[in-house]
Amino acid sequence: MKNISRLTFLFLMAWSALCYAYDDEDFQVWNTDVEEFQIGTDTRLALEEEFHWGDNAGEFYYQHYDIGIRHGFNRHLIAGAGYRQIYERKNGDFKEENSSYVIAILFFEESGFVFEDCNKIEYKDYDYQQDFWRYRNKFTLRLPFKFTKFELQPYVSDEIFVGFASATNQFNQNRAQAGFGMKLLSWLKAEIYYMRLSVKGSAGWREANVLGTKMKLSF
């Protein structure tokens, strides 16, 4: 009877996980809002919130709130640190995660093309699973073209995620993205993009198509 009970429990846990895992090729909508404040000659304080909807954009499943400080050392390097509180739906309930990070962003420009390389190291703190470190690298190329009075500028980017929870959990996420940045007002910028999201789980890789927007206010 004990063995049967254990098997039943494991089956229900697996079924529950399947019920809340989105299908391969899911369509999602993401929205990010950022407020930046100048607190020094080359230092800025940033507040960020982000929201995700999955299951063909019909279910709200993710939110985070972020506070960080960044300092520009020169026109090629910005570095900083921050804290992010995350709530993500897992097995029907929102689970809390606390993430501390350091970040370094390198900039280069050649013939109007702007190259940006963002490096982030995170410490992921959980109450319900093992804590771990993660490295993220995002490379962005902004093209030397601007259209309309809103200065629409096309860009492409790719971001990889490398976790260090175990020997088998290394490269586990990729975000390939293309979109337009724009300047709506002197203090308000926006982005709209398409992202090809690839996430590796216990059942292998799953893909999602993401339509995203971002608004950034600078003071």
Q: How far apart are CA 54 and CA 9, in angstroms?
A: 27
Q: Could you write out the DSSP letters of every residue in 82-98?
A: EEEEEEEEETTEEEEEE
Q: Which of 1-15, 73-87, 185-199 has the lowest mean pLDDT?
A: 1-15
Report the predicted TM-score, pTM, of the whole model to 2 decimal places.
0.87
Q: How far apart are CA 56 and CA 23, in angstroms?
A: 9
Domains of the chain with CATH codes: 25-218 (2.40.160.40)
Q: Write out pLDDT tens, residues 90-133.
A: 988 999 999 999 999 999 999 999 999 999 999 999 999 899 99
Instruction: Cite the beta strand spans of 15-152 per DSSP E.
Output: 26-38, 43-54, 59-74, 77-90, 93-110, 113-126, 132-142
Q: How far is CA 70 from CA 43, 46, 100, 146, in A?
A: 6, 8, 14, 27
Q: Write out pLDDT tens, residues 40-87.
A: 999 999 999 999 999 999 999 999 999 999 999 999 999 999 999 999
Residue 122: how many other CB atoms lie within 10 Å: 19
Q: Cα dihedral sign for 170, 55, 157, 187?
A: negative
Structure tokens at 57: 């954009």
